Amino acid sequence: MHEWSKPIAIDGLEVRRTGLDVIVHDPQHEKIHILNRSAGAVLDLCDGEHDPAQIASLVRAGMDVPQERVLSDVLATLDTFRRLRFVR
């Protein structure tokens, strides 16, 4: 896994919410991706202000899930975003 500090979403992504899904259009790579609500929340928090632990705490708010599990999921999501070139 990549070592993260405070991830930042790349410029140019077009993000729309439709019901429970988040649609991300990446015009630079001519791709469209559909994220679930949790992954969309992680992407929203990739603003250069939050580290992965902070993102996990914010995503976990109101959920009865252990922090370690949410952090593991956030780190895996960030790695996927990195491969998709959504974040730096």
pLDDT in tens, 30-79: 999 999 999 999 999 999 999 999 999 999 998 999 999 999 999 999 99
In this prediction, residue 7 carries a pLDDT of 97
- Is the model's pLDDT at 4 over the cut of 90? no
pLDDT in tens, 15-32: 999 999 999 999 999 999
In this prediction, residue 1 carries a pLDDT of 63
What domains appear along the chain, each with residue ranges and CATH number? 14-84 (1.10.10.1150)
Which position has the token pair 């009865």?
64
- Is the model's pLDDT at 2 over the cut of 90? no
Which residue type occupies 52? P
In this prediction, residue 78 carries a pLDDT of 98
Burial of 83 (0-12, 13-18, 19+ CB in 10 A): exposed
